[in-house]
Structure formats: C-alpha cells, structure tokens
Amino acid sequence: MIFNNAKNTISNNQMSQDEIETFNKQFTAYSGSNKTSSEVKALYSMVISNNSIEKTNNSNRLVKINNEIPTSTANNLGKNKSYTIIVEYDSNGYINNIIIK
C-alpha cells in the first residue's frame, strides 16, 4: 500500500512536470534574440488563443505580454526590426509574462 501511494505521488508529480513543460513549450519556442515582427505577431496570437482557452477552463494561468493581458495582435511592429523575447515564470514554473524588447 505504501508502495502504491509513493508510485501515485511520483506519477502525479511527473504529470504535473509534463503539464508545465507542455504549457511552457508553446511560448519558449519564441524566446531569444533577433526575432522578426512576424514571429512577434505569431506569439501574440498564440498568447491570445491560449488565454481564451484558459479562461474557458476557468484557469488562472493567463499569460501577459509586457505585463498586460493582450487583447489584439501587435500591429505597430517594424518590419525590418529585430526583437528580443524573454519569458518569466510564476512560482509554480508556468510562464506568466513575456517581455518583448
């Protein structure tokens, strides 16, 4: 019985870690420097779509961009400009804010 409880705890922790990695992976693919305006626009779309799903699921895992919940895709980006995208994490390990410079 103790073995089964320990096994379930390990499985639950692994599932939680897998869930965090899956959630974060969709955003970390965009992180880094020398990102194009197209990549930034795609990231905005991804965050807006993710937040819509999270709201539907009554989740508190909303992702901000530059400390604000985005409501529309960024249209004021320079076409020949490059951007740096940095992700920030909450205390549970989920991405909760994305900085675009």
Query: Residue 94 pLDDT > 80, yes or no?
Result: yes
Count: domains in the chain: 1
The kind and range of the H/E element at 15 are helix 2-28
What pLDDT does residue 13 have?
52
pTM of the model: 0.80
Structural domain boundaries, residue 63: 2-100
What pLDDT does residue 74 have?
78
* Burial class of residue 36 (count of CB atoms within 10 Å of its CB; 0-12, 13-18, 19+): middle
